[in-house]
């Protein structure tokens, strides 16, 4: 390998742009060539020096962050992509059914609210009412006799 | 691209206004260091640093590169050239690319007179020597060198950015290192002597 090529390969190795095969070839050359080894050392030395970096002013950074906040896209709405049309269709169907029944079966529209006489009683009275409901006067008299202690 | 970068960008695009804050923090130093070296001082560098981010924010939804920092460098590179043109200099970075690597163009004047990393590290003689050596490079050589040093940008990316071949970029980097070689050689010899 020529030193001219090796110098380029040293740079490409440093940037991670050299294949494994080329890396091995370069390593072999570097073991034999002090001039190329020196170039590699220079590169490493330069990297050490330039590790320390400058910082922008605090104002500049704040301006960037403020601009980022101002330019931030609006939050996306909840993902109900498939639900929207489904809800609309269900609502349409219900309205349609309502119209249908109100025209063809007006008697079936709405709910009947029935309260029986028993339901209006207190819970204790309801039990008594259920027990005696439907019994004739003779039955009631019989019940009375059966439960009478006869003091 | 860095996974955390993707997460930050997606969160930002999803409406989290503070999602890019870690990225600004992460990339501010390499980006600013590069800009400072390519411009005329801290004031200019601060302006270009902000403008770079403003443009990035404006176009973040279009971002499709592999590396966000490379993208920022690309924007900064264009802004540095624009600024040089606005300052009514005669030669652009790109137009001098065909020239010999020793050429000095208009952007030679763009060298940052600000504090160098080496100076900030303690103002060593070595640091100053390196600084001076970097300042003698042509803008293209300097750009290749700084992109490698600060951003670890691949030569392939640099070639795209400078619109030249990888070989040209490598030659520019070789030239830059050649300038530093003699300076660093002395330092290395001293270090090696000092080591047991």
| pLDDT one-digit tens code per residue, A74-84 | 776 666 666 77
Residue A136 is assigned to a structural domain of this protein: yes
| pLDDT one-digit tens code per residue, A16-55 | 999 999 999 999 999 999 989 988 888 888 888 787 778 8
Predicted local distance difference test score (pLDDT) of residue A27: 92
Predicted local distance difference test score (pLDDT) of residue B101: 47
Residue A16 is assigned to a structural domain of this protein: yes
**Within the 82-111 window of chain B, which residues sit less than 8 Å (CB to CB) from chain A?**
none
Which of B9, B20, B31 to mutate to probe the A interface, most A CBs <10 Å?
Answer: B20
DSSP B39: S
Sign of CA dihedral B13, B16, B19, B20: positive
Residue A43 is assigned to a structural domain of this protein: yes
pTM above 0.90, yes or no: no
Residue A26 is assigned to a structural domain of this protein: yes
Among B30, B58, B154, the residue with its CB nearest the CB of A15 is B154
ipTM: 0.73
Domain assignment of residue A26, given as a range: 3-49
Answer yes or no: are the C-beta atoms of B34 and A44 closer than 8 Å: no
Residues sharing a CB contact under 8 Å with residue B101, sequence separation 6 or more, in sequence order: B138, B140, B141, B171, B172, B175
Instruction: Please report, in tens digits, the pLDDT of each residue of chain B (196 residues total).
Output: 566 888 889 888 888 888 899 999 999 999 999 999 888 788 889 999 999 999 999 988 888 777 899 999 999 999 998 888 877 654 445 444 444 444 444 444 444 444 455 444 445 666 777 777 888 888 899 999 999 998 889 999 999 999 999 999 999 999 988 888 877 666 666 666 665 5
Distance of CA B81 to the CA centre of its chain: 13
Predicted local distance difference test score (pLDDT) of residue A48: 82
**Within the 64-93 window of chain A, which residues sit less than 8 Å (CB to CB) from chain B?**
64-65, 67-69, 71-76
**Within the 114-143 window of chain B, which residues sit less than 8 Å (CB to CB) from chain A?**
114-115, 117-118, 120-121, 126-127, 130
Residue A30 is assigned to a structural domain of this protein: yes
C-alpha separations of B118 from A43, A54, B36, B70, B190 in Å: 15, 10, 14, 24, 18
Domain assignment of residue B71, given as a range: 3-92+99-194
CATH number of the domain that B83 lies in?
Answer: 1.10.1740.10
Count of domains forming chain B: 1
């Amino acid at each position: 390998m020529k030193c001219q090529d090796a110098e380029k390969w040293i740079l490409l190795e440093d940037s991670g742009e050299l294949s494994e095969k080329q890396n091995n070839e370069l390593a072999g050359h570097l073991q034999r060539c002090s001039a190329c080894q020196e170039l590699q050392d220079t590169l490493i030395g330069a990297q050490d020096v330039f590790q320390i970096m400058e910082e922008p002013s605090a104002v500049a950074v704040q301006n960037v962050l403020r601009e980022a906040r101002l330019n931030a896209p609006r939050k996306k709405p909840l993902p109900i992509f498939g639900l929207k049309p489904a809800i609309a269709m269900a609502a349409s169907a219900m309205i349609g059914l309502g119209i249908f029944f109100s025209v063809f079966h007006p008697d079936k529209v709405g709910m009947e609210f029935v309260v029986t006489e028993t339901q209006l009683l207190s819970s204790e009275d309801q039990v008594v009412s259920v027990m005696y409901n439907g019994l004739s006067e003779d039955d009631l008299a019989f019940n009375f006799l059966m439960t009478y202690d006869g003091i | 691209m860095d996974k955390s970068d993707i997460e930050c960008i997606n969160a930002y695009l999803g409406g989290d206004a503070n999602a890019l804050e870690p990225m600004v923090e992460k990339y501010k130093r390499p980006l600013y260091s590069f800009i400072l070296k390519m411009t005329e001082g801290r004031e200019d560098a601060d302006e270009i640093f902000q403008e770079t981010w403003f443009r990035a924010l404006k176009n973040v939804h279009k971002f499709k590169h592999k590396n966000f920092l490379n993208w920022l460098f690309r924007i900064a590179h264009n802004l540095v050239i624009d600024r040089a043109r606005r300052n009514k200099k005669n030669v652009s970075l790109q137009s001098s690319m065909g020239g010999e690597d020793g050429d000095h163009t208009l952007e030679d004047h763009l060298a940052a007179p600000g504090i160098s990393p080496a100076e900030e590290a303690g103002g060593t003689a070595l640091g100053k020597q390196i600084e001076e050596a970097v300042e003698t490079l042509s803008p293209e050589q300097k750009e290749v060198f700084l992109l490698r040093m600060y951003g670890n940008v691949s030569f392939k990316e640099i070639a795209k950015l400078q619109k030249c071949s990888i070989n040209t970029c490598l030659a520019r980097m070789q030239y830059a290192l050649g300038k530093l070689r003699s300076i660093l050689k002395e330092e290395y010899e001293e270090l090696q002597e000092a080591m047991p």
